[in-house]
């Protein structure tokens, strides 16, 4: 069994045909889905799907693109939402300096609030980072010194140096379909070396469809394509990679187990 550790089931491209999207994924061997929120108004819908589907779990968080619109959000709102039995993660949150859709200082402040909630609840924090390696690592290192918290870098596309640094901090790395792209040689080298117990796979659906589905709306079913590719990179069978990444998912997201 595989688990899609990061997908957006309420986004356009999936939500219109959600039942069939899930059915296709299950037929492809995907037996679990972590449905991610990116802004507060999505929380109820993401949680409702997780309540309805036994193999779907939910996250609550604010994407860095949405930080300006949630600048006044305190920890209380996140803590209240995180208490729901189907919510197993905080995020996605983090820093995005590629688009700079929100003020960088606001992104940092909201990122730290999510970390505080992760530390208090024990729920893993799901981190988005793009063109912000130095600040992401600095915040993680500073916050870890104040008290450990479980965390992962989703849709990993950063450098090998950043990979080593976050692994040293105890984080998990999740690989999306980007790893299958022809121009992703550095990422493929990183994927081959991530310790087996720190590895997850995801789609980030409806975005980033892997080879051989480039140009299509990405679906959770495509987790299987990414997993096969990564298994080949690592010299593993697809079955052994599926077993390892599913075991890692439940070890990290303990509330799901």
Domain count, the chain: 1
Give the Å distances, CA to CA, from 197 to 93, 100, 105, 147, 202.
23, 33, 33, 22, 16
Asked whether residue 169 is assigned to any structural domain, the reply reads: yes
**Domain residue limits at 54:** 2-252
Neighbours of 3 (CB within 10 A): 27
| Residue 149 maps to a domain | yes
- The 10s digit of each residue's pLDDT in 123-165 is 999 999 999 999 999 999 999 999 999 999 999 999 999 999 9
137 located within any domain? yes
Residues contacting residue 163 through CB under 8 Å, at least 6 positions apart: 156, 173, 190, 194
Q: How far is CA 185 from the centre of its chain?
A: 21
Asked if the structure places residue 257 within a domain, the reply is no
pLDDT tens by residue, the chain, 257 residues? 999 999 999 999 999 999 999 999 999 999 999 999 999 999 999 999 999 999 999 999 999 999 999 999 999 999 999 999 999 999 999 999 999 999 999 999 999 999 999 999 999 999 999 999 999 999 999 999 999 999 999 999 999 999 999 999 999 999 999 999 999 999 999 999 999 999 999 999 999 999 999 999 999 999 999 999 999 999 999 999 999 999 999 999 999 98
The CATH number of whichever domain residue 156 belongs to comes to 3.20.20.140
DSSP β-bridge partners for residue 128: 94
Sequence length of the chain is 257
- Judge whether 57 lies within some domain: yes
Q: Within a domain: residue 200? A: yes
Residue 210 in tokens: 């892997």
* 67 belongs to a structural domain: yes
> CA-to-CA distance for 38 and 21, rounded, in angstroms?
20
Q: Is 83 left (phi over 0), alpha (psi -120 to 50) or beta?
A: alpha
Sign, CA dihedral 95-203-176-210, equals negative
Is residue 32 included in any domain, yes or no?
yes
């Amino acid at each position: 069994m595989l688990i899609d550790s990061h997908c957006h089931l309420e986004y356009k491209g999936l939500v219109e045909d959600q039942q069939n999207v899930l059915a296709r994924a299950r037929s492809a061997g995907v037996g679990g889905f972590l449905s991610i929120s990116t802004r507060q108004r999505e929380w109820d819908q993401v949680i409702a799907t997780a309540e309805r589907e036994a193999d779907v779990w939910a996250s609550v968080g604010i994407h860095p693109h949405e930080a300006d619109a949630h600048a006044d959000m305190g920890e209380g709102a996140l803590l209240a939402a995180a208490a729901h039995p189907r919510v197993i993660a905080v995020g996605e949150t983090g820093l995005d300096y590629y688009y700079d859709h929100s003020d960088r200082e606001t992104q940092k402040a909201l990122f730290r609030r999510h970390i505080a909630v992760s530390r208090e609840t024990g729920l893993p924090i799901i981190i988005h980072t793009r063109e912000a390696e130095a600040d992401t690592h600095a915040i993680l290192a500073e916050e870890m010194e104040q008290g450990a918290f479980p965390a992962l870098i989703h849709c990993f596309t950063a450098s090998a140096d950043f990979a080593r640094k976050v692994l040293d901090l105890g984080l998990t790395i999740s690989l999306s379909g980007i790893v299958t792209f022809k121009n992703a040689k550095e990422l493929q080298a990183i994927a081959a070396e991530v310790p087996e117990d720190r590895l997850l796979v995801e789609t980030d659906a409806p975005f980033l469809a892997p080879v051989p589905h480039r140009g299509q709306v990405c679906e959770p079913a495509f987790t299987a394509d990414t997993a096969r590719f990564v298994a080949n990179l690592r010299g593993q069978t697809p079955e052994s990679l599926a077993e390892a990444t599913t075991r890692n998912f439940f070890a990290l997201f303990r509330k799901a187990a």
